[in-house]
Structure formats: structure tokens, C-alpha cells
A and B are shown apart, each in its own frame.
Chain A
């Protein structure tokens, strides 16, 4: 039972490049979300999904896209990376909406 798997663990991008952060869970969780963590600012919600085919925006969605074609996968796409997107990104899932989260180990992204 792997839990929540995020790849890659580290990434350096140049300004303007695009990339996809992968997130997969094997717990049959319906609720999945993406957060970014910046020093002194806690975790901020980017996008979330309450089930396959359903996504919605969080606090800081600009510059990010998501899709949820399967229950297991919830990739986060950066369309045109900016230095302001330098952060640690966490994917999390829970069995139902409002239940305790299981977090992935994070992706540390640097945009230069």
C-alpha cells in the first residue's frame, strides 16, 4: 500500500517552461487536492477534486491546471512557469470530503 505518490521529488524549471507534477493514490480516495507551501505562509489550496471528472479552484489557482480522469490520478500542470511558483507542492487525498488527509512527500520546485 503506497499511499500518495508524488513525482518528481525535485525539479528546476526555466521561466516560461511547462511541466506536470504527478500525484497518484491507491487508497480509493474520492477527495484529492494540491497545496503549495511557502515559508511563513502555511499551506495554500491550489485546486481540489471531489471525485473523478470533478475539479474546482482553491485559494491560489492562477497559473495552474488540473484534471481528474480517474479516481487514482490528479496531475497538476504549470502552463508557463514563473519564479513566483517556486515552492514545495503537496498532493493530499482523503476517503471522503472532510476526512483526514493523507499527504504525499512533496515536490520541491524551483523556477529560475
Chain B
């Protein structure tokens, strides 16, 4: 399977702290994307990073991609209680398919 695997599976932090989640994958990709899922809801697209990019920012989100290590990280700075959710990475290859990992469950305590 080309699924990304997120690490850690669960993360609990205090409001205001930074949260870092990692994603590893197995084969070459065209791009990698991060999604957020609030409990019982659909996934929401956060950010897309292409295979020729190393870092990307969007608001309090910072994503890095290391294609040599087949890994990516998502950093959420100055976390808020509203950031409590599950976060998934998804890899897209050149065969028209996305693969999702099993997610990191983030709990931000007020």
C-alpha cells in the first residue's frame, strides 16, 4: 500500500503550544496534502505541497516535505482549542489515486 502513516497516533498539548505531526509514505508522489477532520464531520483540505517544494506556509500551518526520506511534517503554531481534530496526510501519485493515512488525533487543552 502507498498509504501515508502519521506519527504520533495521538497528541495532547496545552493551548498556545506548537503541535507537530509527521507523515511517512512508501513510493514516489506527485504531491502531498494535509486534511483536518472534526469529530463526526467530513475532511477539510488544509494545504498541498508538491514534490518539488520543500516547505509551505498557510497562516499558523507550516508543512515540510523531504522526498529523499519520503516524509512530511505538519506544524501548527500557537495551537487553540478549536484545533482539536484528527489530521490526515494524503499522497497523490501519477496514477490518479490518493491514499490517506490513519491520522493523528490532536487534543488541545484550554
Contacts and interface: CB of A to CB of B under 8 A. Distances in A.
Interface of A: 4, 31, 33, 35, 40-45, 48, 50, 56, 58-59, 90, 92, 97-106
Contacts, number: 53
Interface of B: 1, 3, 30-31, 33, 35, 41-45, 48, 88, 90, 92, 96-103
A27 B30 CA distance: 24
Contact of B98 (A40, A45, A102, A106): A45
A33 B98 contact: yes
B43 A101 contact: yes
**In terms of DSSP, what is the predominant structure of the interface of chain B?**
strand
B42 A103 contact: yes
A59 B91 CA distance: 14
Given A48-B96, A106-B42, A43 B48 contact: no
A44 B4 CA distance: 11
Contact of B88 (A43, A48, A100, A105): A43
B101 A100 contact: no
Nearest to B43: A103
Given A45-B99, A100-B48, A101-B90, 9 more contacts: A4-B42, A42-B88, A42-B101, A44-B100, A59-B1, A90-B42, A98-B92, A101-B43, A106-B42
